[in-house]
Amino acid sequence: MATATKRATPGRVKGETLHDGFLRHRNFRWMKIATLLSLIAIAGYFLIDVQPRHNGGSWYGYGLGTIGALLILWLTLLGLRKRSMTRGRWSLKAWTSAHVYLGLSLIVIGTLHTGFQFGWNVHTLAYALMMIVILSGLYGIFAYATLPVALSNNREEMTQPQMLDALRSIDRQLHDAGQPLEHHLAALVQSSLDQDPFGGGLIRRLSGRYPNCATRAAQAAIRRETAYKPNLGEDPLEKVDALLVRKEAILARVRRHLKLKAMLEVWLYVHVPITFALIAALSAHIVSVFFYW
Amino acid sequence: MTFLIRQISRTSDGREIIRPTEIDSTLLSIGRLSENQIHLQDLAVMPRHATIERLDRHRIIVKAMGTLGFDVDGRPVMEVEIDASKGAELRFGSHRLTVGQDQQAITIAVERVEALSDASQDKDEQKVFSLRGLMPGKRVSAWSFAALMLLAFLAFPIWSWSSYQSVKERPQGFHADQSWSTGKLSQAHASLENNCQACHTDAFVAVRDESCATCHAGTHDHAPASRLAAAKAPPGVGGRIQNAFAGMFNVPPGRCVECHTEHEGEGRMQPTAQQFCADCHAGLNTRLKDTKLLNAGDFGIAHPEFQPAVITGFTGTKPQYARTSFAKKPVEDSGLKFPHDLHLSKTNGVAQMGRRLAADNGFGDALACKDCHKSDPSGTRFQPVDMERDCAMCHSLTFDQIGGTMRTLRHGDPAQVIADLRAFYRGTSPMRPSNLGGMARRKPGLYAEGQVYNAYFGAVQTRSGGAEAAIAQVFSPGGACFDCHRIDPPGGKNASWSVQPVAQTARYFQKGWFDHDAHRTETCESCHAAPGSKSATDLLIPDLASCRTCHVGGTGASLKSVAKPVESTCALCHSFHADDGAPWSTRQRVAAQKGGTNPVSGKPAIMNKQTGR
């Protein structure tokens, strides 16, 4: 164990101690294991002559089904396991690595278990749910591999409370600057203040597009108002205009942040609930198969 | 007449700070501009929004100055009169003005009740930056999805099962346990699609043969169960594990459904795979030591030589059959003399006779197989050749003519033939000379005339004795019977002439099924070498090699290359649940061709009609 940890990771300069993510944990140990498992399953499928043809009810089908079901239950346990971080051979990272690669091998095992017989029934439903869970997980890996960099670049070392404080500060200044304005202009500023910067549904969050942004609308309206006025530095509108521009900038950053965070999170809203749906459908599948044997 | 304005603000921990201002005036203005007595720093308030005028000790009137009104006790108005002693609550933008009376003064408590912007409100940072508020919680949706699945696909189907468990036929419509069906039932069982309970009678009990036998009564067993079990090739590791599990859960081996798998989709039920036969029959003699059956695994490469049932002789009039392999070059003793080559020649007298009789009998330039062999109504096999129908147009047994009527010897009854010939000679006279006619008295001296008289009546006297010669001639070489039959002459045990028995085999392959109808695309000669056959004992039935010129194994295997291979599983010729009819797969094929009917052609195994004697 101790010697194993000291061994330099291939492909890296000696002495360089980089972080080893769950994907390349132990030089892709679990990827190798999962690939081997899949290859054995595929080879078995083609080499073993099941009569009259492959399906979930042959001995090979039962075998694959049992392995698949146990795998699904074990993969689900990551939800419990992740709550206690430990090191070593059975570290959380090792678990996560195994979760990812064994989860992917389930595509092979599950599909072979079906014998490519699909229909509108609970059996195919369980398969479809499994595939949804795996594909959402695949997206999750992609998100975890690519988005944190973008998230960090966008934040520029601002924390979330700092972003919120910046918004509040701009709002206070806008509020003060808007006091001398005529009512219809004040209403524009007020609409910017009233709009929830965290509002909008899931689609807005994921797309990062907010066509009804009141701040942008207010700024555009005020620009129209000031377009033909000379900037003498004494019109309160000029100050409001400048503040709205600043607010738009900070809003853009917040919204990019929200978008990236949403993309990082959204798959779990599919992955986790559908996993439970899958386990329920899997139970129904197993019970039904033996109920109507 | 004073107003007491109380500006209320709150510290971060919620403590109230009240700044009272006393204004001695009967008229106050409310607005966003600082010149107003009640100055509301609120962008939702107009620069000069409203006035408050004191009417008397208790009453004030509040009037909007512009187009924007205000709320009084939650009701939008433009103008309102208020009795300060009773109090009221005014709302301008985010500010609340509470009107009251304190002795002489009218008090107006001013307080900002809403945050100046949405962002300024209390926000749970963890929540607003995540998707938590936007999507149903993971935990909630996880449990609801799971519950939904269990209800819809477990509880509901079980309820359906339990409500119709003992019903013969369910009402039409949706039944939840259909969601358990792994696929549509085959065409034959389509009517059971709705009725899961027809086969799945008890929960967690595998489908039993009794369910099948409810409809499929009287299905022939292939062999006794013990011999079936002994004949089976031992399963591999996987199969043994599955058998062990099946045994644990009380699933009997050898169930109907092991071969007849269902829920494989609409359409015809797929024939059972050849492997199910080969599992036992490929090495049968190694497991069933006493079997008389030869090993067979695949028609193309592992099939024993055919053993046609041929007539080896007769016991009395009964033909004796023996199944003899083609390897032993069997000959058949049908009791007939019949050279096929003579009859099928295109140049000889037979062909010439055929041409002469062509108009009446539908012959061609020479005789063909069909001129003598007639297929049975199903087209499967051929009717026995019938002397009167199929031979007599040439081989006439006519011996006399009375007026326009021909008298023929009776075929198949030698005693009758002999009797008829004797009667003919007894009952008829030689041709009467024409000069012996009339009743005129013979004149003396006409001696020649007397000679005719004596010759004629002498012949009349001895005519009946000529019958025996005619009889002998019929049964002897050159005679009508002798041409085709083996004759036993009188003497010894035989009191009279007799014909040896004759039999025709209608079905040579008793263990397999051959259907002529299915081979219409072929000529007769391509399988039956009749044109070159010189003897009736030649067995003109094709052997294994002959069939293999077209038919290959179930998976296409063959020993020699075949130009147009016909893949042939065991089931093409053999039936598992064998009866007298065609194999199941053939019946299916015929049924498909005839549009859905599935006749069982239960014919006796051997048709044995003796056509002559």
Q: What is the pLDDT of residue B296?
A: 92
Nearest CA in chain B to A54: B264
Helix pair angle (A236-291, B138-150), 10° resolution: 30
CA distance B87 to chain A (A): 29
Q: Do B117 and A276 touch (CB under 8 A)?
A: no
Contacts of B177 in chain A (CB under 8 A): 288, 292
Q: Is this structure's pTM higher than 0.90?
A: no
List CB contacts of B364: < 8 A, sequence separation 6 or more: B354, B358
Q: Would you tell me how many other CB atoms lie within 10 Å of the CB of residue B311?
A: 23
Pull the structure tokens for residue B90: 């005014």
The ipTM, to two decimals, is: 0.85
Q: What is the pLDDT of residue B325?
A: 92
pLDDT at B131 over 80: yes
Residue A163 to residue A253: CA distance in whole angstroms: 9
pLDDT at A140 over 90: yes
Please name each of the domains of chain B with its CATH number.
2-112 (2.60.200.20), 144-228+245-270 (no CATH)
Q: What is the pLDDT of residue B599?
A: 46
| A197 in contact with B, Cβ within 8 Å | yes
Which residues are B319's β-sheet partners?
B314
Contacts of A266 in chain B (CB under 8 A): 131, 135
- Asked which of B18-27, B232-241, B348-357, B587-596 is least confident by mean pLDDT, the reply is B587-596
Contacts of A192 in chain B (CB under 8 A): 117
Pull the structure tokens for residue A265: 């999170």
| A255 in contact with B, Cβ within 8 Å | no
CA distance A47 to chain B (A): 13
Question: Three-state SS for B105?
Answer: strand
Residue B467 to residue B454: CA distance in whole angstroms: 21
Closest CB to B275 among A51, A192, A273: A51
Q: Would you tell me how many other CB atoms lie within 10 Å of the CB of residue B430?
A: 14
As a whole number of angstroms, the longest Cα–Cα distance in chain A is 91
Contacts of B154 in chain A (CB under 8 A): 280, 283-284, 287-288
| B247 in contact with A, Cβ within 8 Å | no
pLDDT at A153 over 50: yes
Question: Three-state SS for B52?
Answer: strand
The closest of A138, A93, A133, A92 to A110, measured between CA atoms, is: A133
In order of B311, B399, B415, B480, the CA distances from B499 in angstroms are 17, 19, 10, 12
Q: How many residues does chain A have?
A: 293
* Domain edges within chain A: 23-149+267-291, 160-265
pLDDT at B429 over 70: no
Q: Do B206 and A293 touch (CB under 8 A)?
A: yes
Q: What is the pLDDT of residue B464?
A: 63
Q: What is the pLDDT of residue B153?
A: 94
User: Is there a cis peptide before residue A52, judged by omega within 30 degrees of 0?
Assistant: yes
List CB contacts of B611: < 8 A, sequence separation 6 or more: B384, B385, B386, B387, B412, B502, B504
Pull the structure tokens for residue A108: 């092979």
| Whether the Cβ atoms of residue B82 and residue A136 lie closer than 8 Å to each other | no
Pull the structure tokens for residue B445: 């001296």
User: DSSP letter at B110?
Assistant: E
Question: Three-state SS for A249?
Answer: helix
User: DSSP letter at B491?
Assistant: B
Q: What is the pLDDT of residue B447?
A: 66
The closest of A140, A130, A148 to A275, measured between CA atoms, is: A130
Pull the structure tokens for residue A142: 């992609």
Query: Which of A97-101, B11-15, B489-493 is most confident?
Result: A97-101
Closest CB to A258 among B129, B154, B241: B129
pLDDT at A116 over 80: yes
Contacts of A116 in chain B (CB under 8 A): none
Contacts of A55 in chain B (CB under 8 A): 182
CA distance B3 to chain A (A): 25
Q: Do B116 and A172 touch (CB under 8 A)?
A: yes
How does A98-133 read in b/e, with b if 16+ C-beta sit within 10 Å?
Answer: bbbbbbbbbebbbbbbbbebeeebbbbbbbebbbbb
Q: Which parts of B534-606 are beta strand (E)?
A: 551-552, 566-567
Which residues are B182's β-sheet partners?
none
Residue A38 to residue A101: CA distance in whole angstroms: 10
Residues of chain B with pLDDT > 90: what percent? 27
* pLDDT-based confidence at residue A234 (cuts at 50, 70, 90): confident
Q: Do A279 and B145 touch (CB under 8 A)?
A: no
The mean pLDDT of chain B is 85
* pLDDT-based confidence at residue B503 (cuts at 50, 70, 90): very high
Q: What is the pLDDT of residue A6?
A: 44
pLDDT at B1 over 80: no
CA distance A193 to chain B (A): 4
Residues of chain B with pLDDT > 70: what percent? 90
CA distance A173 to chain B (A): 10
- Arithmetic mean of pLDDT, A281-286: 95
Closest CB to A52 among B153, B239, B261: B261
pLDDT at B194 over 90: no
The mean pLDDT of chain A is 86
| B154 in contact with A, Cβ within 8 Å | yes
